[in-house]
Chains A and B, each alone.
Chain A
Amino acid sequence: MGKIESNPKAILDLDRTVHEPARLAILTVLASAEEVAFLFLQRVTGLSKGNLSSHTQKLEAAGYLATVKAFQGRIPVTSFRITEDGRVALHAYHQQLRALLPKEGKP
């Protein structure tokens, strides 16, 4: 527990917007592609429509994702893109988490 012992407040510095599992999953999926349809995001994360909408709204409010609304024929289609801020936040979160975890081979 070297890192946390030396800086116990470090774990509190984690970005709470990203730290929530559903939002972490959403950002991970969005970071793996340029643009992702709502339906795919829902199926791959296993979230309900309502849950997904609520989490994407929070991420959008934080400036981590952008919503793209378009029409395919007459059907409205919603897609999402990760923003540059979102990419930076996700990367920083990974770095912070790695720093907090014990090094391999050490208890």
Chain B
Amino acid sequence: MTTPDLDALSATTREYAAFQSRKSGLATALGGLMAIVLVLAALSPNYMGAHVLDRLAIEYLVWVPMLWLGLKWALGRVLYRGLGTVKAAPDSAYERRRWYWILGLALFLLAMSLAALYAFALGFLQPNPSRAAICPPPMWLLLMPLLYLLPMPWLIRGIEEARVFAVLVGQCILWLVPLFLFSFGPSNPANHEWTVTGHLAMTAYLVLIFLIQIWGALAMIRGWKEHRQYLALLRSLPREA
């Protein structure tokens, strides 16, 4: 063998190990694409025979984060382990940041669940308790935040993955909360006048959706770049002896 460039060897090893510990490459790009598709699917009329933000459409869409976790795992196994497993050296600072993301998402899910329950109790249960017995809201939706949270410590390996998962979960929560609340509400909401708060909430919703689209596009670019970096790393390795 030729005299090794020790710095290059070290950098290559760290980079390869990073794809098995914190970088997701194409899974990030896929997450960005799914974030965009999730918005378009939820908002597109007549999606699978359903209407805008319809219960049927949302009941399928809330599983998208879990689907992404599965695809991410599969992509990682197929694409980024071609030369065997290389475990990255432990980095306590990075690990701490990863746990901050998990904690942040847990608090967000808890806050949204409590807000939904509070709004339900105050807006629907209190004014019309008899309706609760006849037409209860889909209670299984309250389990979704827990389902989103449970796999995180094991399946979310890096900050970028946590970011993608948080966006997908955040979007699902945006759809789940109205579904939980309005499934119980009046059957013909058109009769109700829009309040200022309602307008503000809808504007915030639209801005958020626009931001998610931009984030999704950027994630796709970032993921694709990471994947190209990985391919360049493989090309830079010496030919097999």
A residues within 8 Å of B by Cβ? 21-22, 24-25, 28-29, 31-40, 42-49, 51, 77, 79
Closest Cβ of chain B to A61, distance in Å, is 21
**Residues 48-81 of chain B: 1 if any A CB is under 8 Å from the residue's CB, otherwise 0?**
0000000000000000000000000000000000
Which residues of A have CB within 8 Å of B10?
A: 28-29, 31-32
Which residues of B have CB within 8 Å of A25?
A: 1, 4, 6, 9
Chain B residues numbered 203-241 whose CB sits less than 8 Å from any CB in chain A: 237-241
Give the number of chain B interface residues (Cβ < 8 Å).
Answer: 26
Stretch at the interface among B12-20, B129-137, B139-147: B12-20
Which residues of A have CB within 8 Å of B16?
A: 40, 44
In the bound complex, what is the Cα–Cα distance between A46 and B83 (angstroms)? 13
B residues within 8 Å of A by Cβ? 1-4, 6, 9-14, 16-17, 83-90, 237-241
A48 touching B241 in the complex, CB below 8 Å, given contacts A33-B87, A43-B83: yes
Which residues of B have CB within 8 Å of A40?
A: 13, 16, 83-84, 86
A21 touching B88 in the complex, CB below 8 Å, given contacts A33-B17, A44-B9: no
- Looking across the interface, which residue of chain A has its beta carbon closest to that of B237? A43
In the bound complex, what is the Cα–Cα distance between A94 and B183 (angstroms)? 69
B84 touching A79 by the CB < 8 A rule?
Answer: yes
Closest 10 CB pairs of A and B: A37-B84, A46-B238, A48-B241, A32-B13, A25-B4, A39-B84, A34-B87, A40-B83, A35-B87, A32-B10
A46 touching B1 in the complex, CB below 8 Å, given contacts A33-B86, A39-B83, A39-B84: yes
| Most chain A beta-carbon neighbours within 10 Å: one of B11, B13, B88 | B13
In the bound complex, what is the Cα–Cα distance between A84 and B38 (angstroms)? 49
In the bound complex, what is the Cα–Cα distance between A25 and B11 (angstroms)? 12
Which residues of B have CB within 8 Å of A43?
A: 83, 237-238, 240
A36 touching B86 in the complex, CB below 8 Å, given contacts A21-B4, A24-B4, A28-B4: yes
In the bound complex, what is the Cα–Cα distance between A35 and B90 (angstroms)? 11
Which of B3, B14, B237, B240 sits near A33, CB closer than 8 Å?
B14
Which residues of A have CB within 8 Å of B88?
A: 33-34
Which residues of A have CB within 8 Å of B87?
A: 33-36
A28 touching B9 in the complex, CB below 8 Å, given contacts A34-B87, A34-B90: yes
Which residues of A have CB within 8 Å of B84?
A: 36-40, 77, 79
B9 touching A33 by the CB < 8 A rule?
Answer: no
A32 touching B1 by the CB < 8 A rule?
Answer: no
Which residues of B have CB within 8 Å of A21?
A: 1, 3-4
- Looking across the interface, which residue of chain B has its beta carbon closest to that of A25? B4
In the bound complex, what is the Cα–Cα distance between A38 and B84 (angstroms)? 8
A44 touching B85 in the complex, CB below 8 Å, given contacts A25-B4, A28-B6: no
- Looking across the interface, which residue of chain B has its beta carbon closest to that of A31? B10
| Most chain A beta-carbon neighbours within 10 Å: one of B12, B86, B240 | B86
A45 touching B4 by the CB < 8 A rule?
Answer: yes
Which residues of B have CB within 8 Å of A45?
A: 1, 4, 9, 238
Closest Cβ of chain B to A86, distance in Å, is 14
In the bound complex, what is the Cα–Cα distance between A35 and B16 (angstroms)? 12
Which of A35, A36, A47, A77 sits near B241, CB closer than 8 Å?
A47
